[in-house]
Amino acid sequence: MDNKRSDKNRRTRNLVIASGLVIALSGGGAAAWAADRFLIEHVEIADVSAYEDDNSSVAPSAGTTDAADATVTATSYSDGATSVTISTVTEGSGSDTVTYYVADVTLSDATTLRSAFAKDQFGENITQLTSGIAADNSAIFAVNGDYYGFRDTGIVIRNGVVYRDEPARQGLVFYTDGRVEVYDETTTTADELLAAGAWNTLSFGPAIVEDGTVVEGIEDTEVDTNFGNHSIQGDQPRTAVGVIDENHLVFVVVDGRQSGYSAGVTLTELADIMVDLGATTAYNLDGGGSSTMYFNGDVVNQPSNGGERATSDILYIGDASADAG
């Protein structure tokens, strides 16, 4: 997608949000508050790369093979230690058609899965296209993350560094030893998680699969109660991450809101997909227009906005072949 179209999509989305907030919160002061809360960038850390270099106590894995050994096809990547295989699934027909994309990922080491922030900055309302963040970080594969920048709560640990410690909801934690666990943010702290070996945390949810079983009651879950949050119920575009085994993950992006191509799925239907793929644990990430899968320079899916929607963060795997030659 060209930059002009991307900028237009982003401006349109922001104008729609701003218009709704101004109507709902009448009065100049309320409108100014809404713009400040939901639209204006609030940069807390301007150079995340440097910040992580100075503060992370864990060095990311460099893999176990020479970069020249990395091979890439239209649907797969392998560097001899980490592999990614992309597949497309279409089910149903007519208005009930659902199309989703699966990335089966085997990691050489838990730290091979990294996170990156939009514009290499941390704070609220800082956004960039998933493909742009991925390209800036030489990613071979990426999905949108939890859109941490839309809210000011949650435990945010990324690449072994604590960025936020405001417990609020059910989170997901990736540890450096390969464990991935659903946890209650309100029963711990970021420092305690870091001491236990946390590498990355996600704060969105809910968990949709635990112990290989679909979690009951997920259709009634609300991620946020703050003004402006969109419902996560009903048939929607979705992004989720699942755990098949130690250092063996599966990512799913479901397209939606596109009649005849993909209607989207409910949380329970998303959970069923993850169970069918062999996930014993699965966690819902930001969805809707944010749902994006990127592989080898291209967006794999068809985001519901007619193009990518800017987001605040991604999960990604670096491209060893980018260093070859």
In this prediction, residue 12 carries a pLDDT of 44
Q: CA-CA distance, 136 to 118, in Å (whole number)?
A: 9
In this prediction, residue 140 carries a pLDDT of 98
In this prediction, residue 35 carries a pLDDT of 83
In this prediction, residue 228 carries a pLDDT of 44
* Mean pLDDT within 264-283: 98
- How crowded is residue 130: how many other Cβ atoms within 10 Å of its Cβ? 30
List the single range of 19-23, 146-150, 236-240, 275-279 with lowest mean pLDDT: 19-23
Q: How confident is the model at residue 166 (pLDDT cuts 50, 70, 90)?
A: very high
Give tens-digit pLDDT for 8-58: 444 444 444 444 444 444 557 888 887 887 889 999 999 999 999 999 878
Closest CA to 314 of 115, 101, 86, 104: 115
Paired sense of beta strands 313-318 and 113-117, if any: antiparallel
Q: How confident is the model at residue 322 (pLDDT cuts 50, 70, 90)?
A: confident
Output the CA–CA distances (angstroms, integers) from residue 299 to 70, 132, 142, 295, in the order listed. Answer: 21, 10, 9, 6
In this prediction, residue 90 carries a pLDDT of 98
What is the percentage of the chain residues whose pLDDT exceeds 70? 85
Q: CA-CA distance, 159 to 134, in Å (whole number)?
A: 15
In this prediction, residue 19 carries a pLDDT of 47
In this prediction, residue 23 carries a pLDDT of 47
Burial tier of 209 (Cβ tally within 10 Å: 0-12, 13-18, 19+): buried
Residue 249 has pLDDT above 50, yes or no: yes
* Mean pLDDT within 259-287: 97
- Spell out the SS3 assignment of the chain: CCHHHHHHHHHHHHHHHHHHHHHHCCCHHHHHHHHHHHCCCEEEECCHHHHHHHHCCCCCCCCCCCHHHCEECCCEEECCCCEEEEEEEEECCHHHCEEEEEEEEECCCHHHEEEEEHHHCEEECCCECHHHHHHHCCEEEEEECCCHHHCCCEEEEECCEEEEEECCCEEEEEECCCCEEEEEHHHCCHHHHHHCCEEEEECCCCEEEECCEECCCHHHCCCCCCCCCCCCCCCECEEEEEEEECCEEEEEEECCCECCCECCECHHHHHHHHHHCCCCEEEECCCHHHCCEEECCEECCCCCCCCCCCECEEEEEECHHHHCC
Q: How confident is the model at residue 7 (pLDDT cuts 50, 70, 90)?
A: very low
Burial tier of 67 (Cβ tally within 10 Å: 0-12, 13-18, 19+): middle
In this prediction, residue 65 carries a pLDDT of 53
Q: How confident is the model at residue 167 (pLDDT cuts 50, 70, 90)?
A: very high
Q: CA-CA distance, 93 to 27, in Å (whole number)?
A: 48
Residue position matching structure tokens 């635990």: 210
In this prediction, residue 251 carries a pLDDT of 99
Closest CA to 167 of 182, 151, 183, 185: 185
In this prediction, residue 194 carries a pLDDT of 97
* Mean pLDDT within 220-231: 59
DSSP bridge partners of 267? none
In this prediction, residue 57 carries a pLDDT of 79
* Mean pLDDT within 137-163: 97
**What phi-psi label fits residue 228: left (phi over 0), alpha (psi between -120 and 50 degrees) or beta?**
left
End-to-end CA distance of the chain: 28
In this prediction, residue 225 carries a pLDDT of 54
Give tens-digit pLDDT for 55-110: 987 876 655 556 668 999 999 999 999 999 999 999 999 999 999 999 999 999 99
In this prediction, residue 324 carries a pLDDT of 52
Identify whether the C-beta of residue 96 lies closer than 8 Å to the C-beta of residue 119.
no
Identify whether the C-beta of residue 236 lies closer than 8 Å to the C-beta of residue 256.
yes
**What phi-psi label fits residue 266: left (phi over 0), alpha (psi between -120 and 50 degrees) or beta?**
beta
Identify whether the C-beta of residue 304 lies closer than 8 Å to the C-beta of residue 155.
no
Q: What is the pTM of this model?
A: 0.88
